[in-house]
C-alpha cells in the first residue's frame, strides 16, 4: 500500500448500533451477517410487525475493503477468521506446497461476511445445477424457480444485459464490469473464440463460453452485502444489528416430543448473554460456522458428538458433504510487453489518484481477475451445456504483487523461490483451471465442544481419481488457450521451471500435473454443502431450509447446497438468502 485511500463513509451506520440495547426477545434471530445473513435480515425486517436481531462476530467494513484490487490484503487480517485445512492423511495428499501441508481458508469475519473478502466475481452457476437439486427432491429449487430470486437482488449496470430475460435493474446489489482492463483480457476472450467457444453472458441462457467478468461492484468500489442490503435500511427501527457478537450455541426447549429452538447464547465484550426468539432462529454463519454451531448445540452425527461429551438433540449428518472448488495454482505464462499487472506499475500515486478522484483505473480490477471461461473437457456431459472446468484469467502471477499472494496462499519458500521469485521483473499472466463439480467430498468435525475452538477442516481434495483426470484435461486446454494467435501475438510462452517436489516426473506429463496439483493446490474458497438440503438420510435441512427433526430453526447460507454450484457461489448464496426469507414470510403470514 503506497497511499491512504479516501475516507469513504460516514460511520453513523455503526454508531447507531453501538448505542443499541439488545432486547431480551425478538421474533427472529439471524446468526451471521454475511452474504446470506445480510439479505435475510433485510427481507425479514420489511415486515414492520416483526423484530429482528442480527448477530455478527466481526465488526464493520473499512476503506481498504472497499478497494477491489486490494481484496487479497484482507486475508490474514482481523476481518478474516483465518482457518486452515487439517494436514492431509498419508493416503490422499494435497496442499503439499504450503507451509505445514495446510491450505489457508479465509472466511469473512465482518458485517458482509465473505462478500467483503471475496474477489467480487458475479456468477450464478449452471441451470443444470438447480434442476438437479430439484430432481433430488428439493421442490422449489429448479432453475425456473430460482431465476426470479437472482433477478430480485440485482441492479445490473450493463444496458445490453438488462434487456435480456436473465438480468434486471433496481435491486439492492449492484453488478457491473470493472471500468478498467489490460489488453490481455481481450486476448483471452478472443482466444476462446478461436477455440470455438462463444463470447457470451455466462449468466444467461447458456453458460459455456468466455466473458469479461462482471462483479459486485458499485462505481468502481466493492459492493458487499453489508453495503447492498444493510446500509440502505439502517433506519429501520425493527432491525437490531449486534457487531462483535459471537454466538456460542442454540438453545432448545423440549415439551412432549417436540424440540424447539427458543434462542441463542452469545458473547460480546467478554460478557455472555442469552436472547430469545419468539418465532425462529436462522443460522447464516457460513459453511464452517453453521455446522459448527449446530454440532456444539447437539445437532450432528451421534457418535462424533458423544465422543466429545455433547448431549444429542438430533442425530444428523452435519459437517459431511463438504465440497469446494479446487484447481491448480500458479499456472504461469510469460510475455514481453509491459502490459501486465505488477506492483511496481500499479501501486503508484497516479493510479491511486485515478481511483480516488474518478473511481476508475487498475484499482477497480476484480481482485485482479479479468476474464472467465466455462469449458468442457472430454468428461463433461455430451450436450456441452454443463461445463466441468472454469478458468479464471489474471494478467499477473504469484510474484506480481510483491509478497501478498505468497503470504495468503502460504506457499513454501522452496516453491516460491524456485518458480516465482525469478519472475519478479517478468511480465506474466495466469489461468487458474478449476474443477466445477468435484466428486471428492470432505467434512468438518469438532475439535472441541468449546464454540471458540476452530473445527477440523478436511476438504479431501483429489481423493476421487476422476477429479485428477478432469483437472489434467483442464490444464491441457489452458495450454491450448495460451497457444492461440491472440496470445502468440504477445509471444506468450509457458513457465518451464519444474515444480519442486515434482521433478521426478517428466515435465507436463499426466503424472507431473497430478503431482503439481497436489502441491500447488489452489482453492478459491468456496466451501459449501455441510448442512445439506434434501429429503434423504444424508440431509440436514428440508427443502424449506428447516433443520430436520426440530422446530424453529433454519440454516440459510452456502452450507445448504446439496451439490456445489458450477460457479462462484456469492450470487447463489444471495439467492438462497432471498428465497429462504420468502419461505419464512410465507410460513408466518
Ligand X SMILES: *[C@@H]1O[C@H](CO)[C@@H](O)[C@H](O)[C@H]1NC(C)=O
Please list the active-site residues. 526
Cell of 238: 425493527
- Nearer Cβ to ligand X, position 277 or 295? 277
Binding partner selected for residue 58 from ligand FAD, ligand X, none, CB under the kind-specific 5 to 8 Å limit: ligand FAD
Q: Does 467 bind ligand X (CB under 6 A)?
A: no
Binding-site string for ligand X from residue 13 to residue 52, where x marks contact by CB under 6 A and - marks none: ----------------------------------x-x---
Contact (CB, 8 A) for 217 and 174: yes
**Which secondary structure element, helix H or strand E, spans residue 275, and what is its range?**
strand 271-283
Region 126-185 residues binding ligand X, contact defined as CB under 6 A: none
Cα-Cα-Cα-Cα dihedral of 7, 9, 12, 18, to 10°? -80
CA–CA dist 253, 249 (Å, integer): 13
Out of 116, 202, 223, 477, point to the residue binding ligand X (CB under 6 A).
Answer: 477
Region 566-585 residues binding ligand FAD, contact defined as CB under 6 A: 568-571, 573
Cell of 297: 448445540
Binding-site string for ligand X from residue 303 to residue 342, where x marks contact by CB under 6 A and - marks none: ----------------------------------------
CA–CA dist 475, 557 (Å, integer): 31
Contact (CB, 8 A) for 319 and 443: yes
Q: Does 124 bind ligand FAD (CB under 6 A)?
A: no
Q: Does 388 bind ligand X (CB under 6 A)?
A: no
**Which secondary structure element, helix H or strand E, spans residue 191, and what is its range?**
helix 183-194
DSSP 3-state assignment of 371?
strand
Q: Does 409 bind ligand FAD (CB under 6 A)?
A: no
* Shortest distance, position 125 Cβ to ligand FAD, whole Å: 9
Computed on alpha carbons and rounded to an integer, the radius of gyration of the chain in Å comes to: 23
Closest CA to 113 of 579, 559, 589, 565: 559
Closest CA to 213 of 168, 182, 169, 236: 182
- Nearer Cβ to ligand FAD, position 86 or 524? 524
Closest CA to 117 of 68, 74, 166: 74
The residue sitting closest to ligand FAD, measured at its beta carbon, is 34
Region 52-91 residues binding ligand X, contact defined as CB under 6 A: none
Which range in 118-126, 143-151, 295-303, 308-316 contacts ligand FAD by CB under 6 A?
Answer: 118-126
Out of 124, 127, 240, 246, point to the residue binding ligand FAD (CB under 6 A).
Answer: 246
At a CB cut-off of 8 Å and minimum separation 6, what does 73 contact?
1, 64, 404
* Shortest distance, position 124 Cβ to ligand X, whole Å: 26
CA–CA dist 48, 432 (Å, integer): 46
Neighbours of 586 (CB within 10 A): 9
Binding-site string for ligand FAD from residue 253 to residue 292, where x marks contact by CB under 6 A and - marks none: -------------------------------xxxx-x---
| Cα-based angle 359, 360, 365 (whole degrees, multiple of 5) | 110
* Shortest distance, position 557 Cβ to ligand FAD, whole Å: 3
Which range in 190-198, 230-238, 481-489, 565-573 contacts ligand FAD by CB under 6 A?
Answer: 565-573
Q: Does 119 bind ligand FAD (CB under 6 A)?
A: yes
Neighbours of 468 (CB within 10 A): 18
Closest CA to 428 of 156, 256, 177, 182: 182
CA–CA dist 579, 442 (Å, integer): 27
- Nearer Cβ to ligand FAD, position 118 or 168? 118
Binding-site string for ligand FAD from residue 60 to residue 99, where x marks contact by CB under 6 A and - marks none: ---------------x------------------------
Region 192-251 residues binding ligand X, contact defined as CB under 6 A: none
* Shortest distance, position 91 Cβ to ligand FAD, whole Å: 28
Q: Does 57 bind ligand FAD (CB under 6 A)?
A: yes
DSSP 3-state assignment of 254?
strand
**What is the chain's length?**
589
Q: How many CA atoms lie within 13 A of 311 on its CB side?
A: 5
Binding partner selected for residue 256 from ligand X, ligand FAD, none, CB under the kind-specific 5 to 8 Å limit: none
- Nearer Cβ to ligand X, position 27 or 60? 27
Q: Does 455 bind ligand FAD (CB under 6 A)?
A: no
- Nearer Cβ to ligand FAD, position 246 or 579? 246
How many helices (H) and strands (E) would you count in the chain? 17, 26
Residues that bind ligand X (CB under 6 A): 47, 49, 473, 476-477, 480
Residues that bind ligand FAD (CB under 6 A): 31-37, 55-58, 75, 106-109, 113-115, 117-121, 123, 246-247, 284-287, 289, 293, 524-526, 557-558, 568-571, 573
Amino acid at each position: 500500500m503506497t497511499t491512504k485511500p479516501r475516507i469513504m463513509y460516514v460511520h453513523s451506520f455503526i454508531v447507531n448500533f453501538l448505542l443499541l440495547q439488545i432486547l431480551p426477545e425478538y421474533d427472529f434471530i439471524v446468526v451471521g451477517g454475511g452474504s446470506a445473513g445480510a439479505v435475510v435480515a433485510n427481507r425479514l425486517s420489511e415486515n414492520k410487525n416483526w423484530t429482528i436481531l442480527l448477530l455478527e462476530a466481526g465488526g464493520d467494513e473499512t476503506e481498504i475493503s472497499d478497494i477491489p484490487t486490494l481484496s487479497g490484503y484482507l486475508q490474514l487480517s482481523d476481518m478474516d477468521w483465518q482457518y486452515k485445512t487439517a494436514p492431509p492423511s498419508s493416503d490422499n495428499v494435497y496442499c503439499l506446497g504450503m507451509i505445514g501441508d495446510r491450505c489457508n481458508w479465509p472466511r469473512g469475519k465482518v458485517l458482509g461476511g465473505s462478500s467483503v473478502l471475496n474477489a467480487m466475481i458475479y456468477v450464478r452457476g449452471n441451470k443444470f445445477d438447480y434442476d438437479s437439486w430439484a430432481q433430488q427432491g428439493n421442490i422449489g429449487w429448479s432453475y425456473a424457480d430460482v431465476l426470479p430470486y437472482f433477478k430480485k437482488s440485482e441492479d445490473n449496470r450493463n444496458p445490453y444485459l438488462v434487456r435480456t430475460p436473465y438480468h434486471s435493474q433496481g435491486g439492492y446489489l449492484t453488478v457491473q464490469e470493472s471500468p478498467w482492463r489490460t489488453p490481455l483480457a481481450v486476448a483471452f476472450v478472443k482466444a476462446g473464440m478461436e477455440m470455438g467457444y462463444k463470447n457470451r453472458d455466462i449468466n444467461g441462457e447458456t453458460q459455456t463460453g468466455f466473458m469479461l467478468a462482471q462483479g459486485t461492484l458499485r462505481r468502481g468500489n466493492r459492493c458487499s452485502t453489508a453495503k447492498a442490503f444493510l446500509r440502505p435500511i439502517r433506519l429501520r427501527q425493527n432491525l437490531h444489528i449486534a457487531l462483535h457478537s459471537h454466538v456460542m450455541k442454540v438453545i432448545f426447549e423440549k415439551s412432549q416430543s417436540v424440540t424447539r429452538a427458543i434462542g441463542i447464547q452469545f458473547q460480546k465484550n467478554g460478557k455472555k448473554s442469552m436472547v430469545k426468539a419468539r418465532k425462529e432462529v436462522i443460522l447464516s454463519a457460513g459453511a464452517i460456522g453453521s455446522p459448527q454451531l449446530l454440532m456444539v448445540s447437539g445437532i450432528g452425527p451421534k457418535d462424533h458428538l458423544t465422543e466429545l461429551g455433547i448431549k444429542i438433540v438430533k442425530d444428523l449428518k452435519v459437517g459431511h458433504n463438504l465440497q469446494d472448488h479446487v484447481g491448480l495454482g500458479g499456472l504461469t505464462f510469460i510475455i514481453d510487453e509491459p502490459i501486465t499487472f505488477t506492483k511496481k506499475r500499479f501501486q503508484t500515486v497516479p493510479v491511486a489518484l485515478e481511483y480516488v478522484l474518478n473511481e476508475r483505473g487498475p484499482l477497480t480490477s476484480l481482485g485482479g481477475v479479468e476474464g472467465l471461461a466455462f469449458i468442457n473437457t472430454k468428461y463433461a456431459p455430451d450436450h456441452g451445456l454443463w461445463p466441468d472446468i472454469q478458468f479464471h484469467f489474471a494478467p499477473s502471477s504469484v510474484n506480481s504483487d510483491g509478497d501478498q499472494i505468497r503470504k495468503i496462499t502460504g506457499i513454501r519458500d522452496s516453491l516460491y523461490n524456485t518458480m516465482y521469485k525469478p519472475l519478479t521483473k517478468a511480465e506474466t499472466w495466469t489461468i487458474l483451471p478449476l474443477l466445477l463439480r468435484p466428486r471428492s467430498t470432505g467434512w468438518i468435525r469438532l475439535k472441541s465442544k468449546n464454540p471458540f475452538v476452530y473445527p477440523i477442516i478436511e476438504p479431501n481434495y483429489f481423493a476421487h481419481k476422476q477429479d485428477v483426470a478432469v483437472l489434467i484435461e483442464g490444464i491441457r486446454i489452458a495450454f491450448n488457450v495460451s497457444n492461440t494467435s491472440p496470445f502468440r501475438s504477445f509471444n506468450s510462452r509457458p513457465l518451464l521451471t519444474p515444480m519442486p517436489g515434482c521433478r521426478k516426473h517428466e515435465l507436463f506429463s499426466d503424472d507431473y500435473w497430478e503431482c503439481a496439483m497436489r502441491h500447488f493446490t489452489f482453492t478459491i474458497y468456496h466451501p459449501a454443502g455441510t448442512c445439506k438440503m434434501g429429503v434423504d438420510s444424508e440431509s440436514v435441512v428440508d427443502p424449506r431450509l428447516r433443520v430436520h427433526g426440530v422446530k424453529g430453526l433454519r440454516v440459510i447460507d452456502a452450507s445448504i447446497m446439496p451439490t456445489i454450484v458450477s460457479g462462484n457461489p456469492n450470487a447463489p448464496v444471495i439467492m438462497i438468502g432471498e428465497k429462504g426469507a420468502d419461505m419464512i414470510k410465507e410460513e408466518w403470514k
